[in-house]
A and B are shown apart, each in its own frame.
Chain A
């Protein structure tokens, strides 16, 4: 049915944005962690979004039969990767983690940047929720047809 695909696509967006918000929250929470179990400060995590078409054979076959191109529209997928930028170095000779020159390595997290990204992620999340609501209402109006 035409509208179910839209729900799938918007659902994938909700998943992706939620993963992004969780990652941003983790970054904010660990913004001052100078010592992790693996040694060294916390490294910032970033989320990479990718548009992936549905890969199941049945959906490709179905699309070939009824030419419903919209079934092949890309879903969005999010992956968590490490931010490879360098750590922030601060001069704190009294710090237990200070090296021989008195510098401490802090996580490469900029709280202001994370907050802005959080706001954007929340806005995108709400946009997909709006899309789901619109589609859901359309489907329910169709059910009302018989009344």
Chain B
């Protein structure tokens, strides 16, 4: 019986997910910060590029000059959100929408941290013979 103690699929997936959540939170913070900037368009992380890369199984180098990133979790591109109404100053950031995203990402982050800690506790309990 081989149990991967330190690095296993759960931990890898979770740490990649935590990174993604941190990136998304940064984009939301930038949107909120620029809510009064004329001409600023709300940004988001493009989901389809993440999905495409996940299906292909890893990062694709489209140019030989690109640095290789083997096994790195797929990082979505930061793009402008589509189909949003702009105000008079051509700014289309909605405070309510961004605040909702802020709360959602924080919740997901907390849940992932909990899962992470559970894994740690499982390992620790195994080390301590179930005590």
Task: Point out residues on A near B: beta carbons under 8 Å.
Answer: 2-3, 5-7, 9-10, 12-13, 16-17, 20, 49-51, 65, 67-70, 73-76, 120-121, 123-124, 127-128, 130-132, 134-135, 137-138, 141-142, 144-147
Contacts and interface: CB of A to CB of B under 8 A. Distances in A.
Given A65-B67, A137-B106, A141-B109, A70 B78 contact: yes
Given A70-B26, A127-B99, A13 B34 contact: yes
A64 B26 CA distance: 18
Interface residues of B, number: 39
A122 to B, nearest CB: 12
Given A3-B26, A13-B34, A69-B78, A134 B40 contact: no
Contact of A134 (B19, B34, B39, B106): B106
Contact of A127 (B35, B39, B69): B35
Nearest to A75: B33
Contact of A130 (B34, B36, B99): B99
